[in-house]
Amino acid sequence: MMLVSNDGSGGHLPVHGREVLIIGGGIAAVEALMALADLGDRRLRLQVVAGHPSFLLRPQILGEPWGGPPLRIDLERLCRAFGARFVSGTVTGVDADARQVRTAGGERLDYERLLLAPGAQPALAYAATRTLGFGALPKTLATGTSGSVAIVVPAGTSWTLPAYELALLTAGAGRDVRVITGETVPLEVFGPGTHAATRALLDRHRVLVETGGAPEPGSSVTDLADTVISLPLLNGPALAGLPLDGRGYVQVDAHMAVPGTDDVYAAGDATNGAVKQGGLAAQQADTAAAEIVRSCAGNTPRVPYTPVLRGKLTTPGGQELYLRRALDGLDAGRADDRPLWQPSSVVCAWRVARWLSYRRGELGHYTLGHVAQALSA
Ligand SMILES: Cc1cc2nc3c(=O)[nH]c(=O)nc-3n(C[C@H](O)[C@H](O)[C@H](O)COP(=O)(O)OP(=O)(O)OC[C@H]3O[C@@H](n4cnc5c(N)ncnc54)[C@H](O)[C@@H]3O)c2cc1C
């Protein structure tokens, strides 16, 4: 059959039904699911296996002391809306020759195409501290007016923005707060074109930043402040049967294919990309999904992964700073207080962000016809 792609690319994709298995239920997996349902014109047989029953936007963890718990979307319902089957299970390994994955429960799931998106494995960097993602943040960040707060970014952290976002929120509640980081400037990854704007925002909100080094993981940090919060250490998912780098991350090529395997792709924090970030995870997922559809259909155009980092800082007063940098080694980065992408969501995942906006009633219609049908069904 012929499909006119409705992502604005104008591409024509003839698609045959295939069994596609997605591992994971985070931003990369969900973006890939939407892309495969869309680009595959619902002709692919989609299955999602994830260790947790719900999809969570991790940045919402930061707002918990100031609001309600982060939004969790039931994965089984979400999968059903996009014509996919949901399987609850933790994958332990891949048998690429047999085209099967194994779960901790002893199940074997067949695939014709496999997309790995199990994310990274977070770990505690320091004992006796709060670590983002390990339990709720203390409510006293929002209510307490006395006592100092230190937010520590352990060495090797590639995505440091959550530390600054949490610092801004905490400073807004009247606490003395400082970020301790190995960066040479705050949010260094966004490039020299953004550094002055970031520094000005942090200064305006009295967020102190100690650059140049955080304490060694494993050391005691309790004396840094009355409340110490750390970002987690991350490691790869270390799934058996795949080419991994030294820290357990899955190796991928420029099209998100896993070298040395047939029809296995990977996206998101599980891969050996330099920066572990939701927007990049979604871009990788879009590339992998297009590649899977191409591999099912034959002669369709490739969509190379050309990473663009996008991040948003929000102050307690509602002021926003948008940061954007193409990771091509040339772009110096750009900062603006007006949105640099739309919808101007915290995680810039093209399909997921539009779907969430639509769900909240902020978008009158969804530009992807299949998704709109799925939602109204
Ligand atoms: C506090 C905080 C704030 C952040 N802020 C931003 C931000 O502003 N912008 C941004 O772009 N990014 C942000 N990030 C980073 C972003 O959340 C991650 O990069 C993103 O979630 C990675 O997506 P992923 O799908 O690759 O992995 P994950 O979101 O980690 O999802 C992995 C999924 O796979 C499942 N899984 C794991 N192992 C297995 C297994 N073995 N078998 C089956 N299922 C498995 C998990 O249950 C989960 O559903 C933030 C992160 C944090 C913690």
Cβ proximity of 194 and 333 under 8 Å: yes
Determine whether the shortest distance from the Cβ of 279 to ligand 1 is under 6 A.
yes
Q: Would you state the pLDDT for residue 298?
A: 61
Q: Would you state the pLDDT for residue 129?
A: 86
* 1 three-state secondary structure: coil
Tokens representing residue 122 in the block: 């977070």
Determine whether the shortest distance from the Cβ of 118 to ligand 1 is under 6 A.
yes
CATH 3.50.50.60 fits 2-120+236-305+363-376, yes or no: yes
> What is the Å distance from ligand 1's center to 1 Cα?
35
Q: Could you read off the pLDDT tens digit of each residue along the chain, which spans 377 residues?
A: 233 333 433 444 456 678 999 999 999 999 999 999 988 877 899 999 999 999 999 999 999 998 878 889 999 999 998 999 999 999 999 999 999 999 999 999 999 999 999 999 999 999 878 999 999 898 889 887 779 999 999 999 999 999 999 999 999 988 899 999 999 999 999 999 999 999 999 999 999 999 989 999 999 999 999 999 999 999 999 999 999 999 999 999 999 999 999 999 999 999 999 999 999 999 999 999 999 999 987 666 677 799 999 999 999 888 999 999 999 999 999 999 999 998 898 999 989 998 888 888 777 665 555 454 544 44
Residues forming beta bridges with residue 109, ordered by sequence position: 101
Q: Would you state the pLDDT for residue 2?
A: 34
d(CA 199, CA 186): 7
d(CA 252, CA 339): 31
Q: Would you state the pLDDT for residue 316?
A: 87
pTM: 0.93
Minimal-distance CA residue to ligand 1 atom 30? 119
> What is the Å distance from ligand 1's center to 122 Cα?
10
Minimal-distance CA residue to ligand 1 atom 27? 119
* Fold match flag (2-120+236-305+363-376 vs 123-233): yes
Q: Would you state the pLDDT for residue 229?
A: 96
Determine whether the shortest distance from the Cβ of 90 to ligand 1 is under 6 A.
yes
Task: Show me where the domains of the chain are located.
Answer: 2-120+236-305+363-376, 123-233
Residue of 27, 76, 86, 94 best suited for mutating to test ligand 1, as the one with most atoms within 8 Å of CB: 27
Q: Would you state the pLDDT for residue 279?
A: 97
The CA-atom distances, in angstroms, between 98 and each of 17, 102, 262, 293 are: 20, 11, 11, 21
CATH no. of 123-233: 3.50.50.60
> What is the Å distance from ligand 1's center to 85 Cα?
21
Which residue type, as a one-letter code, is found at position 50? Answer: A
